[in-house]
Structure 1
Amino acid sequence: MHQQFTSPTGVRFLALMREGKGLKPSARAVGIDKGVGYRWLRDEYLRFRSEGLDHGQAQAQLGFASSKAEEWKEWFLTHDGRHHLQLDLTVEEQFWASYSTGMSLKGAGASVGLKHTTVYRWVYRRFVELRRHSALGQVTKDLRLSFNTAARWEAQNKKEIEAEKARVQQLDRDAIRAARVIAERVAAPLSPAQKRRVLREVRYWDLVGSGASNAAACRMLGVSRTIGTRYRSQRAARPRASTKPPSGRYLCLRERLQMADLLRMGCSLRAIGRELGRHPSTIKRELDRHRDIKGRYLPHVANHDASRQRLRPRERKLSASPHLRSLVQAKLTSHWSPEQICGWLSLRFPTNPGLRLCPETIYQALLFHDHGGLQMEGKPRLRTGRKIRKHRWRTGPGRDPVVQNMTMISDRPAVVETRTEAGHWEGDLIIGPGSISAMVTLRERKTHYGIVINLPYGHTAALTNHAIITALAGLPAHLKRTLTWDQGVEMARHQELAQATGLQIYFAERSSPWQRGANENFNGLVRQFFPKGTDLSVHSADRVREVCGELNTRPRKSLGYRTPAAVLHAEMEGVSRLRRV
């Protein structure tokens, strides 16, 4: 048999919904399926409508807004609480029209082709409706009932009303008892197994904080890597709550449980205060704050509400300002990073502190489940595409070099590190699946200007040289000073490249990508448009140029939130003016 929304489980579910928990969390908390929750919400909505509330008021009482509410509204307007096997309303209207002319019940029923049992049920239903606001004698006269029939129906109606009251009272008692059991279970101390799990998670994060990888930490704790991944996902999905227990100044869960029991026993506020060792005004304030709309006091819900209110929650800045939220969402859609967005806001609105943000605010809005008001469903939240924060794991040693006659990065001029002189480039390849297709990526250190060239059919040394020579052909000599690369085989003919372009080529140490940090950062930006594991040969030259244009017109914090294209253009114009002078 299906559970009803008036059952103890249904009462707890609806209480959680009114608290604003949401459908899925509320259903999960009471152990029901989401479909059962929808059915209970519909039944509660129809009950509110039958009591005279309109559509908006019923939704507000539920604490739930959904497209399904419109279906419930239509169902209520068309069915009016009638059974799904009901006759057409016009048939019932014809019956009442015939009965009002003075015909007998059987005669009026026969005139519309119905048996007397159906019309008796209709008349009894009308009797119950009229008795809610009219006297028995008046109803008997209006419906032309005999004295015996009216007396029998009156007794039956009273019996049904008393049974409904008793059922509701029993359901209330069951709901309060069930809420107490759950609250006591939550307030009970942790079992030994739960304590071990909590301690294991604390030790896991201590190991990760000391530099251990996920695999190493799990190996030292004797658990699988899946458990470590679960820890990371759960921690990224929600901010860590404070473990500091409340002081004795505040009521605890056990006191609230005892208070609920004493209230059911009919004790006065002073008697409850004496039993708990609290002032009666404390008990009164507790009840005034945490009783629901029906006057019931649920200790578990009250304790949760009190804990939340003790934190003095403040509305998030992105949630409170629709204008600021729309600006951030637009820039995130354009693939800007949170730091770029915050820097742009400070330049665009220098006199408006209400439109200032910290990058961490955007990160938390994206990485935590509440989103902070951002609506990014179905879109990548960050350029990395991740939904949780990822720790930096250490990399192992690389292979032996295969490029001959290399000039190492230690011999590179010191002026390159200062970024005060333009024309110093860093380069690399991003590789497609199967190491077949590739793209050459170049980035200038001072201006941060980037170039991407597609190599759809291979990345041999000859093809790589040709791509770089073509890409840099239009630049003046003062913007072609040095090129820093890793020790990949695509640089096997680096001497020919240096002779053709006039570049001094230097090589980074093995497994040291941080020595080419500007280019590695640029590779991450490019991978946003050409993800790992995808075939790079399918992208046309026009598409690659479009991506370069978008990347070079983004503001950069290191450039004072100017764009790389503008800074490179200024470098070219500055030298041109000097030459004219």
Structure 2
Amino acid sequence: MRDYGFSPARQDEIRKRWREGQSFSLIGRALGAPMQHARRFLYQSGGVRLAPQARLERHLGGSEREEISRGLAAGEPARQLAERLGRSPSTVSHEIARNGGRDRYRAAPADAAAYERGRRPKQAELAQRPVLRALVEAKLAACWSPEQIAGWLRWQFPGDTSMQISHEAICLSLYDPRRRQAIDRSLTRRLRSARPMRRPKIARRPTGRGIIRGVVSITDRPAEVEDRRVPGHWEGDLVMGARPSVVATLVERTSRYTTIVALPDGIKAEQVTPHLTRNLLGIPPRLRRTLTWDRGRVMAEHQAITAETGMPIYLCKPCNPWRRGTSENTNRLLRQYLPKGADLRTFSQADLDAIAHELNHRPREIHGYRTPAEVYADPLKPAHPRRARRPVP
């Protein structure tokens, strides 16, 4: 494996932080190295921890095998050797039988053979069973998960252990670089996550980026917003095109008047906020009351928008688009002009204004076939002054 300039100690630190759930950016900053190098280093192992081979204390060592060899040459029985070494008699007798018996036992070859037997991983199960391997690859290609494959095999071949395998063994065959010859690694793209390496089981630590602070829930929104009688309450959302192109929409709840905002810089909060603030400031002050948005990271700077525009922003709970029904319905109408596969970066703000103008001048049944533009203009009309009464003669 390539070390990318990381010492063994730093390699262990990368693996440790990855298992703790830290992101690549946090790992890179902690080690003072580019995050790409940490990602590429872990990518080689598929996110699987490669534990170095080590001898355990409960296993026989080289010096103990020398004692066994000398004792056998002197004619000592296995039980006497075991007592002298402080080992179980069965451990010593198995060691002798495994390595040629009393007449052919030699310490150095026995120690080398034990080390070879202890190497991990051993040949993968799928590499030893070509029929099972072909069946597993076919199911992975059909987008089955490893858990589904393992469970189906137990059900399909209940008495045949040669046609059964655990889901963990399938995952290791996909991700562990020491086992990848057992199965086509490109099949990771057929998994639901489509990730090239495994993620740690522990929850990933938050990095602090995109966290929405000071959230004001939609449940705190004024009651007048619900009945739509008071104009000036808006809903907002993002409309995605071909990644990463996107635009924002602002819809007034009472009139359904729509504004489309170009987002040429991206969809991060710091990129969206200036464009959104500028368009909100273009709304007449008497129609600038509240804004309701989805609880996405794009609203991480909602407090700055409120401070600039004076509009409180209320955020829905995650996965509750129905709480912004006006915005969702409008986005559906906009798909006539902004298809899902279109590159929305090719639309200038003038193009988006033309689309919004056309949409705002289409009659709506809910308004008695008046247009959203007409209903939106009603509260902006000046009030007629009352005529002065003539004095009674």
TM class by shorter chain equals 0.3 to 0.5
Specify the structure having the higher radius of gyration (Cα): 1
Larger % of helix: which? 1
Give TM-score scaled by structure 2 length: 0.43
Q: Which has the higher contact order (CA 8 A, sep 6+)?
A: 2
